[in-house]
Amino acid sequence: MPKFFVDSSNIQGSIAKIYGTDVKHITKVLRLQTKSILILCDGEGFDYVARLSKIESDALTLDIIEKKPCIAEPELKVTLFQSIPKNPKMEYIIEKCTELGIDSICPVVTERTVIKVDSNEAAEKKLERWRKIAKESVKQCARGAVPNIYDIYSLDETQGLVKCLDLVIVAYEEEKVTSLKSVLSRNKNISSIGIFIGPEGGFDRSEIEFLKSMGAQTVTLGNRILRTETAGQAVLSAVMYEFDEMQ
């Protein structure tokens, strides 16, 4: 059954409206007609079974038959704190982590971050691009909610977000004892996790101490050092598997 994203403001009671390029796709490409059934997604975790009731050149009207939570959304809420890597790695990270079920991504500037955002205009341009990628990725993987892409933070500014999480882990190449699996196995009854991933050169030791002071736990990812664009996906995949979000 075809699935389309609709802004929640275009869903009023039992009526939904579709505008823009989807109108042409539905009527000209899919050749759907009135009484056809579609799935609508509001990008906030809900799906709607809807019947096409009116076709106009620039808009479609649908009658909502049923509203239900999207089964593709994980119950576990995971936030990725990603130290901003060189372009276009951040775009790749957002795309793949969205597919894996990330709830939110916080781009972070750290000591060894190569890419520097020198102005508010440059930051807004990057954020607009990243948020667009997240939305497009959600469409492709049939999720029901678009991950939140936070504004660009310094490491110190992440404290407020960290305080709201049940568990925070840091992938750290110098950690030789504590494994990701051991930390996850001790923390099964939680609903939110934060994952910190460093830049190409890794976290500075002072940054690791700062993260530990906030309650974060450093973990090893094994005997191989992963690239920054790989590490977040690897940890997220392991987390989703351990919490039965890949059944």
Report whether 17 contacts 64 (CB < 8 A): no
The one-letter code for the residue type at 120 is: N
Q: Tell me the pLDDT of the chain averaged across its residues.
A: 95
Q: Where are the domains of the chain?
A: 3-69, 77-242
Residues 165-195: tens digit of each pLDDT:
999 999 999 999 999 999 999 999 999 999 9
Report whether 78 contacts 192 (CB < 8 A): yes
From the CB of residue 247, how many other CB atoms can be counted at a distance below 10 Å? 5
Q: How far apart are CA 176 and CA 235, in angstroms?
A: 16
Report whether 245 contacts 72 (CB < 8 A): no
Does the pLDDT value for residue 221 go beyond 80?
yes
Report whether 202 contacts 112 (CB < 8 A): yes
Homologous superfamily assigned to 77-242: SPOUT methyltransferase, trefoil knot domain (3.40.1280.10)
pTM of the model: 0.89
Cα separation values, 40 from 8, 123, 136, 148, Å: 10, 32, 15, 20
Indicate the fold that domain 3-69 takes in CATH.
Ribosomal Protein L25; Chain P (2.40.240)
